[in-house]
Amino acid sequence: MRSGDVLHLTRSASPQFVRPIVVRVIRVLTDWHTYHGWCWIDGYQLNARGDAVDRRSLYVRCEGVRWRTATPVSPAQARRRRVPA
């Protein structure tokens, strides 16, 4: 995991995620000591449109993390990305 990664966190990442969430990683907190296979991350929780709604520090099982290949795009972001014809 590294800064900018978009993760889908479910119960396989930690029992706290009864409802799955999507997070954009700010940084992995390597100086915080954890159990083997677990890590702390700072990130922004994203809503369905891909907008950051909350900043969180999360304790997750590294093997249970799922990477998202694409970030949800808000309509405003889609308009900015369009190339004029």
pLDDT tens string 40-49: 999 999 998 8
Model pLDDT for residues 55-84, shown as the tens digit of each residue: 999 999 999 999 886 555 556 655 555 555
Instruction: Enumerate the H helices of the chain as residue ranges.
Output: 75-81
Query: Does a structural domain hold residue 74?
Result: yes
> Distance between CA atoms of 54 and 36, rounded to whole angstroms?
27
Query: Does a structural domain hold residue 39?
Result: yes
Query: Does a structural domain hold residue 76?
Result: yes
Average pLDDT value for residue range 27-54: 92
Please tell me the predicted confidence (pLDDT) of residue 69.
Answer: 67
Model pLDDT for residues 10-26, shown as the tens digit of each residue: 999 999 999 999 999 99
Domain count, the chain: 1
| 0.95 surpassed by pTM | no
Average pLDDT value for residue range 29-44: 91
Query: Does a structural domain hold residue 60?
Result: yes
Query: Does a structural domain hold residue 1?
Result: no
What residues make up the domain containing 55?
A: 6-81
Identify residue 83 by its one-letter amino acid code: V
Query: Does a structural domain hold residue 52?
Result: yes
Query: Does a structural domain hold residue 11?
Result: yes
